Structure 1
């Protein structure tokens, strides 16, 4: 595991180096031991300044990598050498780094055991070197302060590891959020393509089929169907350009009012046949694009698949919201499953806080959509 706080060892090495050199300057004076003391601290600083890959390899070979245990053992040996060359005794504080760094490699248990071992080792050194140290206040104080330093080092390592894990979880959560946002945007674009471009292409197909069927029987009706197809093509091009310009939320990007767009929609799908009727009641408070998309979906399905001879569109602007009903006298859905258009419409209504109800029988289909203000 990468250490979250790599600067702590370097700070301790620098403080001990300055303290040791100051002690040498005011005491025995600089010498070979002081030079070795400073050199070993510099070596420790270099050792802890780089990342050591966790793998096996030939020691000191070009491009070699080292196992954590080997690096840790080398650090412990260097710390022992520093302590041996330090007449001031300040370097014993560096041994708190052993449980601190062990926490990042082997975890809490090994760190606690190693910390207890360091405290016991210091007590053993006092026993060997200082007779009756256990009754001398300065050595008792040193041992207690060292034990406190070990505890604080382990606690700091635990906090650093938890913070690193929390950051990793946060990064994972943010990645999931970004993925979900991208998926939601893809679904939104797919709905837009189906509901706008798909609808107009369907309308163009219907009008061109009509123009072909009436080409030799009714030249005027055929020309009118071609004109309606051209209108649908222009309308599709306008909507594609609008989508490319905005690529933003669809909630309120609709026209200033839906009365005229709905009338145009019915007129161009009906083609003057009188098969489709539109009835609007109440006062529109604000345009609801989802209502227009629902009308597109319902009318396209009724015209394309139902075989209906009569299609009625009712829009009621009520106190709590708007209600759209598209009813036809066609053959119903039968055993056919709902397509992408209806699935996309349900998703639109869910995001808008509305509802969709579809009832189908052999005598016709009724699509009812409710949208709150």
Structure 2
């Protein structure tokens, strides 16, 4: 039983108590040793003191042990200063004290380094977990949140036009069904590829934006899409930016005209979403725009928002 839980028991004893216990044991061994060889064990006194009280006390005890041995020689060994064996013993004891202090200093530094390393690893783990939580929250907002907002917009349109325009109402219900299916597809894709950096790019930004504009437009709201340049590769960050800009314009601004422009050049791609809505206070950005800024920052791009009572313009640029 002692062998199993001994380390835990010793770990609960104060360092000062351990030092006192060790010093008493050394004195007991020296008392029963008639050969005098056990005095070499006293180099452990400053060694133990280093852990219990620090370097200053340990060095003081080391000097004291050497001085005590020299005093003992002076009291009990006449003319020991001219006898080589006693001088050699004193020098070896002093060297042992120095080595013991050096070993203790190394052990303390290693323990401190290990403690710092454990603290750093804990911080890294915490930051990684927080980053993953933020990523998942951003994905839920940008994907699931957008489609749920689109479903709400289309169902409101269907309800408003149910008696006035049955065909437009049926089309709105069809668009809501499309958004629901897209939501399921993106949830399944996220589950299949769950992990940092696992989100998939749209099959093509031009096609994805055209599809998005088609299913969000209609009724009293007109959404236009303009593309220029040659698309080199799909850019998920621009698609998410378009989702955020269109959802905010459709849901909150009361805009009737929304324009989406994408331009490609040799440096990268640039997206602009402009509406004629009522605007908002840019100091009160919600989670969606905050998450979008983080996306753009990770892509080493730029983002700007200009909002007034006459409308809002969201601009996002991303380098290749």
TM-score if structure 1 supplies the norm length? 0.79
Deviation at residue 253 of structure 1 after TM alignment: 1.7
After superposition, give the CA deviation of every residue in 1:237-279 in whole Å (9 maximum; x if it has no partner): 1111211222223476212321211111000001376701111
1:222 aligns with 2:169: yes
Larger radius of gyration: 1
1:352 alignment counterpart = 299
Query: Where does structure 2 lack aligned partners over 5 or more consecutive residues?
Result: 1-5
Maintained 8 Å contact 1:251/1:289? no
Using a 3 Å threshold, how does the CA distance of structure 1 residues 266 and 70 change in structure 2: closer, same or farther?
Answer: closer
1:110-259 alignment to 2 at 5 Å?
110-250=57-197, 253-259=200-206
Aligned counterparts of 1:50 and 1:310: Cα–Cα separation in 2: 75
Maintained 8 Å contact 1:323/1:368? yes
1:316 aligns with 2:263: yes
Maintained 8 Å contact 2:274/2:313? yes
Query: Where does structure 1 lack aligned partners over 5 or more consecutive residues?
Result: 1-46, 55-66
Using a 3 Å threshold, how does the CA distance of structure 1 residues 109 and 137 change in structure 2: closer, same or farther?
Answer: same
Deviation at residue 302 of structure 1 after TM alignment: 1.1
Aligned counterparts of 1:284 and 1:69: Cα–Cα separation in 2: 72
CA RMSD, 1 decimal: 2.1
Deviation at residue 355 of structure 1 after TM alignment: 0.9
1:53 aligns with 2:15: no
Using a 3 Å threshold, how does the CA distance of structure 1 residues 48 and 249 change in structure 2: closer, same or farther?
Answer: closer
Aligned counterparts of 1:269 and 1:205: Cα–Cα separation in 2: 11
Deviation at residue 101 of structure 1 after TM alignment: 0.6
Aligned counterparts of 1:140 and 1:116: Cα–Cα separation in 2: 16
Maintained 8 Å contact 1:275/1:309? yes
Using a 3 Å threshold, how does the CA distance of structure 1 residues 113 and 254 change in structure 2: closer, same or farther?
Answer: same
Aligned counterpart for 1:326 among listed residues 273, 298, 301:
273
1:103 aligns with 2:71: no
Deviation at residue 300 of structure 1 after TM alignment: 0.7
Deviation at residue 318 of structure 1 after TM alignment: 1.1
Maintained 8 Å contact 2:227/2:261? yes
1:267 aligns with 2:188: no
Aligned counterparts of 2:307 and 2:53: Cα–Cα separation in 1: 66
1:93 alignment counterpart = 40
After superposition, give the CA deviation of every residue in 1:160-218 in whole Å (9 maximum; x if it has no partner): 11111111011111111111111111111111111111111111011111111111222
Maintained 8 Å contact 1:100/1:111? yes
Deviation at residue 289 of structure 1 after TM alignment: 0.5
Matched residue of 1:51: which SS?
Answer: helix
